[in-house]
Amino acid sequence: MRNLGVAVDFSPCSRAALRWASDNLVRGGDRVVVVHVNSCYQNEQGIVHLWEHTGSPFIPLNEFCDPTVGKKYGVAPDSETLEILRRMANQKKVEVVAKIYYGDAKAMLCEAIDKIPLHYLVVGSRALSKLKRALLGSVSSHVVSNAVCPVTVVKH
């Protein structure tokens, strides 16, 4: 079984990455791991802090779709992303799970590759200008440069 990761931040870019992975990479028997990095995880109840060093446990797709579970982990997946994931699971006959990390997206995505471990990672790209990329840094550029598995960057 291959562990295929797709970095998701619930933006149009990450939805494009999910669609690309579904159309071009995913095959029956794979496990698709939706990797989300929450960089601002202030939670009044403090339960998120239980997972800030290791990331959440794997969250099955049916639980990930539940808003109360999302609130527990500090995420709010949009309906379009969830529909893409449901369709992928049903049509491709794959297991879909989510893994939530907390902190810097660049570091956490590279950590996810090692700790899960992932055989392949797909990330979306916001196509920042050279100036913005220099000032803000590019998550996709960092991951491509530092990942120990193949990475595909999908432009929206």
> Which pair of tokens denotes residue 114?
């090692």
**Which residues are CB-contacts of 16 (< 8 A; sequence separation ≥ 6)?**
124, 154, 155, 156
Q: Where are the domains of the chain?
A: 3-155
Report the pLDDT value the prediction gives residue 47, as an integer from 0 to 100. 63
* CA-to-CA separations, 31 to 19, 37, 154, in angstroms, rounded: 16, 19, 20
Say whether pLDDT at 136 is over 50: no
Report the pLDDT value the prediction gives residue 155, as an integer from 0 to 100. 85
Report the pLDDT value the prediction gives residue 42, as an integer from 0 to 100. 58
Report the pLDDT value the prediction gives residue 74, as an integer from 0 to 100. 84
User: pLDDT digit string (tens) for 77-129?
Assistant: 999 999 999 999 999 999 999 999 998 999 999 999 999 999 999 999 876 55
Determine the Cα–Cα distance for residues 86 and 66; give it in Å rounded to an integer: 13
40 or 69, greater pLDDT: 69
Determine the Cα–Cα distance for residues 92 and 28; give it in Å rounded to an integer: 5
* CATH architecture type of domain 3-155: 3-Layer(aba) Sandwich (3.40)
Alpha helices in 47-120 (DSSP H): 61-64, 67-73, 79-92, 105-115
Cβ pair 122, 20 in contact under 8 A: yes
User: pLDDT digit string (tens) for 31-63?
Assistant: 999 999 988 755 545 566 777 788 999 999 999
Burial status of residue 107 (CB atoms within 10 A of its CB: 0-12, 13-18, 19 or more) = middle
pLDDT-derived band at 135 (thresholds 50, 70, 90) equals very low
Instruction: Count the Cβ atoms, other than its own, within 10 Å of residue 119.
Output: 15
Report the pLDDT value the prediction gives residue 132, as an integer from 0 to 100. 46
4 or 1, greater pLDDT: 4
Say whether pLDDT at 8 is over 50: yes
Determine the Cα–Cα distance for residues 124 and 27; give it in Å rounded to an integer: 20
Report the pLDDT value the prediction gives residue 20, as an integer from 0 to 100. 97
pTM of the prediction? 0.90
